[in-house]
Amino acid sequence: MNFLQLAIILKVRRYIILLVAIITLLTAVTVSLLLPKNFLATATVLLNYKGVDPVTGVSMPAQLMPGYMGTQIDIIKSKNVAIDVVKRLKLTDIASIKQDYDKAMKSGNVKSDITDWLADRLSGKLDVSPSRESSVINISYKGVEPTFAATMANAFAESYIAVSLKLKMDPAIKASQYLSEQTKVLRDNLQQAQERLSKYQQEHGLTSILDTYDVESSKLRDLSTQYSLMQSQSIDANSRKNDAAKNMSDSPDVALNPVIQNLRMNLVTAESKLAEMAQRYSKNHPSYIAAEAEAAKLRSQLQTEIDRTVVSLSNSASINSQRLGDVKTQLERQKQKVLELNRSRSELLIMEKEVEIAQNALASVNNRFSQTVLEGQSNQADIAILETASPPASPSNPSLLLIIPFSLIVGTMLGCFFALVAEFLDRRVRSKDDILGLGEIPVYEYSIKAV
């Protein structure tokens, strides 16, 4: 069957198509008029939320949080919101609802309490849809009575705000409890760190570690300088002592001694006088004997003074060596003291740093604790009702504007189907294609020209 044959059949059977379409239209209109009318009321809420972590305090605009709108829709459709609506409107106290619940219980279709049962029924008539590219959500409720539908839509919007506020406050309350415990722990840590620091200062007698360290370091530098100087002096004294011990007469310290120089001059004079006396007198002459005795006395005094000078240099070298040893001992003690002070300084700085870290941690937690306490006590939601639902003037369904064209389309399609069925039950020749298809008889066409 080609398209031309189908068009001819539908044209011939047009009355059947028309009849079926009219019957379908009348049936749909009748059924729609007999069905109970449903009214759709819509309330809109505006979201102005910034996500804030109750512990870290990091905030993020809701538009940047993936799945935020979907999460809010799920919250509105959640059972907690429906239960809050039931409790808010006290629907369980209505006698007709109690009777319906009792009937459902007797039939065995319900196993939950009346609140959960009613919340499930209310959620089934709820429709939530977000506005495109905005922070507005439409909350719609369908009911058989317009005022009841508007009341339920508004109740769901208010319950959604209440539940959202609770969901916002509960984490802040839990976080404040956690931060309160952490504050106590950090306060104890700070107190322990301060006690350790104070005890260490008392045990080591440290008041101002920096000033003490500077004073002791200065002493160490002075002792080092003094030790270097005395070391040079000791080396010089030992060298002079050794030189004087080896060459008493030629030693510079002996030669430059004024007493020895004076004795030597007197000895030269006495020896000259003795030589003169030897030429003039004999050795037994009293004058010669006196000059000789004087020269011997001067030699003895000179030798005694030279020995005294050598002994003085030796004593000076010994004294310098002893003083050098004493200064060296003091220097070593001072070095140990500075090293000990440096170690104490390092430990003290570590303890002071621990105290500082504990103070900063406690201050940070105290600030966050104060913020979470305020958030936990805040009753201001970030969601506001943009438009409240009002009782609709006309039912949302059944809608004759939609039913009539839809029933005409369906009726026309059914009419075409019945027309084809009728044609197949009573097949007739409608065109030359039918004749060709039945007996494969050639058909000749003649055209009559007007004379």
Of the listed ranges 56-70, 148-162, 411-425, the one predicted with least confidence: 56-70
User: What are 265-275's pLDDT values in tens digits?
Assistant: 887 887 787 78
Mean pLDDT of 387-407: 76
Higher pLDDT, 175 or 23: 23
Higher pLDDT, 24 or 380: 24
pLDDT of residue 61: 52
Q: Is the dihedral of CA 17, 19, 25, 31 positive or negative?
A: negative
What SS3 state is found at 91? Answer: helix
Q: What is the pTM of this model?
A: 0.50
pLDDT of residue 138: 92
The angle at the Cα of 311, spanning 307 to 317, to the nearest 5 degrees, equals 150
Distance CA 386, CA 388 (A): 7
Mean pLDDT of 396-410: 75
pLDDT of residue 53: 47
Mean pLDDT of 22-30: 84
pLDDT exceeds cutoff 80 at 202: no
Q: Using an 8 Å Cβ cutoff, are 310 and 237 in contact?
A: no
Task: Tell me phi and psi for residue 440, to 5 degrees.
Answer: 50, 40
User: What are 164-187's pLDDT values in tens digits?
Assistant: 888 877 777 777 788 788 888 888
Taking Cα atoms as reference points, which of 131, 174, 129, 125 lies closest to residue 149?
125
Residue ranges in 378-398 assigned as alpha helix (H): none
Higher pLDDT, 447 or 4: 4
User: What are 83-130's pLDDT values in tens digits?
Assistant: 999 888 888 888 888 888 888 888 777 777 888 888 888 888 899 988
pLDDT of residue 377: 58
pLDDT of residue 154: 92
How remote is the C-alpha of 405 from its chain's centroid? 61
Higher pLDDT, 245 or 347: 347
Among 100-109, 298-307, 405-414, which range has the highest average pLDDT?
405-414
Q: Are strands 383-387 and 39-47 parallel, antiparallel or unpaired?
A: antiparallel
The first and second tokens of residue 224, run together, are: 């080092």
Among 178-187, 251-260, 333-342, 369-378, which range has the highest average pLDDT?
178-187
The first and second tokens of residue 344, run together, are: 């104490």
pLDDT of residue 437: 57
The first and second tokens of residue 366, run together, are: 């105290």
pLDDT of residue 428: 67
Distance CA 105, CA 390 (A): 34
When the pLDDT of each residue in the chain is averaged and rounded to a whole number, the result is: 77
Mean pLDDT of 138-144: 88
Q: Report the interhelical angle of 79-89 vs 68-77 (nearest 10°).
A: 50
Mean pLDDT of 357-361: 87
Mean pLDDT of 310-314: 73
Q: How many CB atoms lie within 10 A of CB 383?
A: 20
pLDDT of residue 379: 58
The band of 396, judged by pLDDT with boundaries at 50, 70 and 90, is: low
pLDDT of residue 447: 47
pLDDT exceeds cutoff 60 at 334: yes
